[in-house]
Amino acid sequence: MRAPQLCWGRSSRDFVNPPVAEQQVDVEECFRFPFCARSMTTPGRPAGSVCLSKRLTIIGGEETAPHELPYQVSLQWNYSNDTIPPMHFCGGAVLTESWILTAAHCKTSYTADGYIEVVAGAHDILNRGEVNQRRKIEQIITHERYCGTVCPYDIALIRVAEPFVLGDTVKPIRLPALNASFQGSALHLIAIVVVLQKVVLPLVDYDECRQLWYDVSHLADTNVCAGPEDGSKSSCSADSGGPLVTMNGTRASEEPVLIGLVSWGPYPCASPWRPNIFTGVAYFVDWIEQHLQVGPREEEKEDPQ
């Protein structure tokens, strides 16, 4: 399994173009941010790291009420070291008590002896006194057509080793109908390094999005585009795999439907005329349901690290 090489603005995902100049920063400062290139020589500590962006907050959004969005999860890297707190690096959405949906590029690793945990029911992920549910991963299934970098089919299923206890703070989200289309605005949930935030993003017609992203080849008709023309509202750091859901006013719908998962976007974040790009979940409903029904087979199991 490959380790992240360079990341150009958000978590470990690749972007359209690398930055012109890299910003060298103190190693200890770089360590606090998940969206850094990490060349490891000492377990649990980055050596020779390069940080290219340190923005930790959603642009134009607001903090959610605690447990307002119980289907959001945080993917965190556990360093197997009590002196280093787990690091949030991606988001995801609860489908069942055992399955999480996220972006395929969130299948990554940071240290040789660490591992991924899925944290549900969290609001402030730095608050160690907060009651939440933390699970190790049993299996990660990435879409067989995902290329491993910026490209379509950026979707993955995670099976946790122990089922979540569903209730008021942890609930599954509904899948859309196969090939369903959506208009208007949607709510994007961002599990950042401090507290869970949200932002309302206008959905952008695919043909218009195609014109705005005229200079890239990896935008596909299985993507969903969202974001205002002026870039005043946008996702940013460490929110890969986070859900885009249907909404009512400024809140999620009473029974929200999962529209998309954060896949890629512009560098820097919140660039005008560059909407954020999500994996359109409606185009993968059959793929999702197929794996949920079959469950893990021994020959299909992958090393979750």
Q: Which two tokens stand for residue 199?
A: 């932002």
Q: Which of 74, 237, 240, 263 is catalytic?
A: 240
Longest dimension (CA), the chain: 49
Q: Which two tokens stand for residue 46?
A: 């980055």
Domain-embedded: residue 240: yes
Boundary of a domain, candidates 144, 160, 176 = 160
Domain-embedded: residue 267: yes
Q: Which of 154, 234, 237, 263 is catalytic?
A: 154
Q: Find residue 142's DSSP bridge partners.
A: 156
Domain-embedded: residue 87: yes
Q: Which of 88, 105, 143, 188 is catalytic?
A: 105
Give the CATH number, domain containing residue 142: 2.40.10.10
Nearest Cα residue to 38 out of 2, 83, 74: 2
Q: What is the pLDDT along the chain (305 residues), one digit of tens a residue?
A: 332 222 223 333 333 332 222 333 333 333 333 333 222 222 332 222 222 233 345 565 667 777 788 999 999 999 999 899 888 889 999 999 999 999 999 998 899 999 999 999 888 766 777 889 999 999 999 999 999 988 999 999 999 999 999 999 999 999 999 999 888 877 665 544 567 777 788 899 999 999 999 999 999 999 999 988 877 666 665 678 999 998 755 555 678 899 999 999 888 877 889 999 999 999 999 999 999 986 544 334 455 55
Q: pTM, whole model, 2 decimals?
A: 0.77
Distance CA 107, CA 190 (A): 18
Q: Which two tokens stand for residue 267?
A: 């560098």
Is position 207 annotated as part of the catalytic site? Answer: no
Q: Which two tokens stand for residue 135?
A: 């699970």
Is position 240 annotated as part of the catalytic site? Answer: yes
Q: Please provide residue 31's backbone torsions phi and psi, each rounded to the nearest 5 degrees.
A: -60, -30
Q: How many CB atoms lie within 10 A of CB 5?
A: 11
Domain-embedded: residue 287: no
Range of the domain at 105: 70-160
Tell me if 43 sits within 8 A of 50, measured CB to CB: no
* Structural domains of the chain, count: 2
Is position 26 annotated as part of the catalytic site? Answer: no
Domain-embedded: residue 299: no
